Amino acid sequence: MNGGLLAAILGLAVADSFNPVTIVAITLILLTVRRRPVTSALTFVLGAMSTVFVLGAVIFLGAGAAADAVGEGLLWLRRVVFLVAAATLVVAAVRRLRDRERRGVTLPAWFGVGTAFPLGILMTGADLPNAFPYFIAIERMIDAGTATGVGLLVLGGYAVVYCIPCLVLLALGMAHGRAVRSRLQRVVDRFSTGTVRRSVPAATVLLVLAVAVGSIAFWP
């Protein structure tokens, strides 16, 4: 693996790390969990990190084997990545065509130290289909013929980078306590209350992006 490919994968990992699902989860832990919030948050992050690495390893090894066997592993992977991304944009466009009330976001009632790890797995696994930088990084490694050991090591690094914003947020919350929590609460209130107004221009832009992204899936 050359330096250019490694830098590209690092850039994809950094872009992927600003993931609203995991960041919101850490925010809610800081705001609502009163017993052992640091342990709960770290356990949640460990679950998220494990999901990113394990699922990435399965795709990397599986797609690589398919590419060696029938020569279509990369084509399949590229189509899945970009078609899922296009479908996500279409859904977002349709949602912008009508007013909708924002829904408050809360942790499940059963959340705690003992359940933080599986919740991290579930939330991250459910959101990964939308994380197309992740799949692009795997495709690039397969296309470059990256050795299995090196690829798994890079995926481990990707998983760590993926969780860095969560860890930074947690550290700030623990270090500065009330001030950080107050700001986070204002952000949560801003995005969990009120009405999102319909916007035809925004929906149009999202649909154009969906067509552009979807077309990439069928490039030769």
Decide: 142 and 77 in contact? Cβ < 8 Å: yes
> Pairing state of beta strands 195-196 and 100-101?
antiparallel
29-53 tens-digit pLDDT: 888 887 888 889 999 999 999 999 9
Q: Which comes out higher in pLDDT, residue 70 or 11?
A: 11
Confidence band for 69, pLDDT divided at 50, 70 and 90:
very low
For residue 121, is pLDDT > 70?
yes
Report which DSSP code applies to 196.
E
For residue 10, is pLDDT > 90?
yes
For residue 6, is pLDDT > 50?
yes
pLDDT at 7: 92
Quick one: average pLDDT of 176-202?
76
Q: Which comes out higher in pLDDT, residue 118 or 75?
A: 118
pLDDT at 78: 67
Q: Phi first, then psi: what are they for 110, rounded to 5°?
A: -85, 5
Q: How far apart are the first and last CA of the chain?
A: 24
pLDDT at 70: 45
**Structure-token match 């919101």, residue found:** 24
Quick one: average pLDDT of 71-90?
72
Please, what is the average pLDDT of the chain?
A: 82
Specify burial of residue 66 (Cβ count, 10 A radius: 0-12, 13-18, 19+): middle
DSSP 3-state assignment of 195?
A: strand
Token reading at 113: 């130290």
pLDDT at 192: 66
Confidence band for 107, pLDDT divided at 50, 70 and 90:
confident
pLDDT at 20: 81
